[in-house]
């Protein structure tokens, strides 16, 4: 029998590529920038499997042009780039890579919080560019962490890991928002589940960890930043479109909040001349939350397992739309 064909839209780590190549004919997009939608549609039209990234739009027309496609394996926890209902309707499995990013992303959130709170970005730039003239009694004054309050917006796995680090390391009080109570957070941290408005008013640090959907898009805007303390630090390692970036820039510029640390923006990459880059109290990194060797290797392994299970007609280890199995029985 002919080996299944799999298109991989970027060079993922060999931990995944080697596994896929051992069982399938693999076509890997060779360039640094992702393929255009038109190129993607052409390359996947006779494939059984697709390994995609968040930069790849997978929608109904692309699926209709790919009648052999059985599975889309996303190299990410999120899957906002994929029209999951369209995949389900056509019997195409969708997989993702949850769990393995938790610690790396939590570490990045805490790193951004520290860097923003202690003016590391601004002071480092001043030192490098010759503006550090002497020891400054009133220079580069940041915010204290010990005993402060961390507000976790979305107490999922990553939010829980961030709370654990900040409560255990700095004795922070933990408040959080979540659709349902998280008794394990209450027990381990003495955490309190509160409404978003109360969280914003109480917290010295606010860290976003919610999914991007119709109800969360733009959830951090001018009204929300106005409710935060003037000494507050805002951190986003979830998704860029959660934030109204113009409102955030204004809040930082006017001193409505103290600082921000962003791993994600809208769009990505943020254009070099964007106003947020010009603000000394805003730290931006290029979506590096999962960028550790161990984490990216683990993501690649999960991607490979998902796509190979899908092309083989088996249940995906990490299945976004398991209802496809029932649909296929009909």
Q: Which residues are catalytic?
A: 239, 268, 287
Q: How far is CA 251 from CA 20, 53, 222, in A?
A: 47, 32, 7
The answer to whether 302 and 13 are in contact (CB under 8 A) is: no
3-state secondary structure at position 180: coil
Q: What is the DSSP string of 214-238?
A: TTTTT-BSHHHHHHS-TT-EEEE-S
Tokens linked to 196: 């978003």
User: Rounded distance, CA 41 to CA 117, Å?
Assistant: 45
User: Rounded distance, CA 139 to CA 122, Å?
Assistant: 11
User: Rounded distance, CA 240 to CA 212, Å?
Assistant: 9
User: Rounded distance, CA 118 to CA 163, Å?
Assistant: 19
Listed in sequence order, the residues at least 6 apart from 159 whose beta carbon sits closer than 8 Å to its beta carbon are: 152, 153, 176, 207, 209
The answer to whether 187 and 157 are in contact (CB under 8 A) is: no
User: Rounded distance, CA 73 to CA 307, Å?
Assistant: 5
Compute the CA torsion angle 106, 108, 112, 115 (nearest 10 deg): 120
């Amino acid at each position: 029998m002919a080996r299944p064909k799999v298109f991989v839209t970027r060079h993922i780590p060999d931990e995944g590529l080697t596994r896929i190549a051992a069982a399938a004919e693999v076509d890997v997009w060779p360039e640094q920038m992702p393929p255009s939608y038109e190129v993607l549609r052409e390359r996947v039209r006779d494939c059984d499997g697709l390994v995609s990234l968040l930069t790849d739009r997978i929608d109904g027309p692309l699926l209709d042009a790919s009648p052999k496609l059985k599975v889309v394996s996303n190299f990410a926890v999120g899957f906002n780039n994929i029209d999951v209902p369209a995949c389900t309707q056509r019997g195409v499995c969708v997989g993702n890579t949850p769990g393995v990013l938790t610690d790396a992303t939590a570490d990045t959130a805490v790193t951004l919080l520290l860097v923003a709170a202690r003016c590391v970005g601004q002071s480092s730039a001043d030192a490098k560019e010759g503006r550090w003239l002497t020891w400054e009694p009133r220079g580069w004054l940041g915010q204290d962490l010990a005993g402060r309050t961390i507000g976790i917006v979305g107490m999922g796995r990553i939010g829980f890991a961030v709370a654990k680090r900040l409560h255990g390391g700095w004795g922070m009080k933990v408040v959080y928002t979540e659709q349902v109570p998280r008794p394990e957070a209450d027990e381990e941290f003495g955490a309190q589940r509160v409404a978003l408005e109360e969280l914003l008013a109480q917290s010295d640090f606010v860290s976003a960890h919610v999914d991007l959907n119709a109800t969360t898009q733009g959830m951090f805007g001018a009204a929300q930043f106005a409710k935060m303390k003037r000494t507050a630090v805002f951190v986003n390692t979830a998704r860029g479109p959660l934030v109204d970036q113009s409102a955030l820039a204004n809040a930082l510029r006017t001193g409505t909040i103290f600082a921000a640390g962003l791993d994600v923006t809208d769009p990505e990459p943020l254009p070099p001349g964007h106003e947020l880059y010009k603000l000394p109290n805003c730290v931006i990194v290029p979506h590096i939350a999962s960028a550790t060797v161990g984490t990216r290797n683990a993501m690649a392994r999960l991607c490979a397992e998902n796509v190979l299970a899908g092309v083989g007609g088996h249940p995906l280890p990490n299945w976004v739309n398991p209802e496809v199995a029932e649909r296929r029985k009909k």
